């Protein structure tokens, strides 16, 4: 896991540079290795920990243009994130399931997943028609 996190950290460091040399292929290769790790780990906490770190780092970079690539945004890692988010969202609803409590690690993962989703939604925002003024407005990215 440590080697995987070191590679991830190095890639994120490259993505934070103004003139990045990171290609979609190198990102999908890292994502493939992360999915392999998630499939092989016996400890749920290791999986939550790595998802938390990845979501935090991906949400904190400004080079989200890479996510326009279909190979990246449709990657199996995002399927993992989706199912983890659904599970944590269900656990967060204490009204319906008062006997199921979220752990601190789950809460942290839930926050980072939420932040990444919000960040991706803001990036993917497109020009919208303003209903009240009948003008188009472009939301800032």
Q: Based on the structure, what is the number of domains in the chain?
A: 1
106 vs 42 pLDDT, higher one: 106
- pLDDT score for 54: 87
What was the pLDDT predicted at 28? 86
Query: Model confidence over 32-85: pLDDT tens digits?
Result: 988 998 888 777 778 888 899 888 888 877 656 667 778 888 889 988 899 999
Alpha helices in the chain (DSSP H): 2-16, 24-40, 44-60, 70-73, 76-92, 104-123
Average pLDDT of the segment spanning 113-131: 69
Domain holding 106, by residue range, is: 2-137
Q: Per residue, what are the HEC states of 100-132?
A: CCCCHHHHHHHHHHHHHHHHHHHHCCCCEECCC
- pLDDT recorded at residue 138: 56
Indicate whether 22 pLDDT > 80: no
Query: How many CA atoms within 13 Å lie on the side-chain side of 46?
Result: 14
pTM of the model: 0.73
Q: Report which DSSP code applies to 98.
A: T
Please say if the pLDDT value at position 122 is more than 60. yes
Q: Percent of the chain scored above 70 by pLDDT?
A: 76
């Amino acid at each position: 896991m440590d080697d995987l996190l070191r590679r991830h950290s190095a890639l994120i460091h490259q993505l934070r540079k103004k003139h990045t040399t990171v290609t979609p292929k190198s990102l999908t290769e890292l994502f493939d290795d992360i999915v392999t790790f998630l499939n092989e780990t016996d400890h749920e906490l290791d999986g939550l920990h790595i998802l938390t770190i990845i979501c935090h780092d991906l949400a904190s970079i400004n080079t989200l243009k890479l996510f326009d690539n279909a190979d990246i945004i449709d990657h199996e890692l995002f399927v993992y994130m989706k199912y983890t988010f659904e599970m944590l969202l269900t656990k967060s609803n204490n009204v319906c399931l008062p006997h199921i409590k979220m752990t601190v690690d789950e809460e942290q993962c839930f926050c980072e997943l939420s932040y990444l989703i919000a960040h991706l939604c803001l990036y993917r925002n497109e020009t919208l028609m303003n209903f009240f003024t009948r003008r188009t407005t472009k939301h800032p990215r």
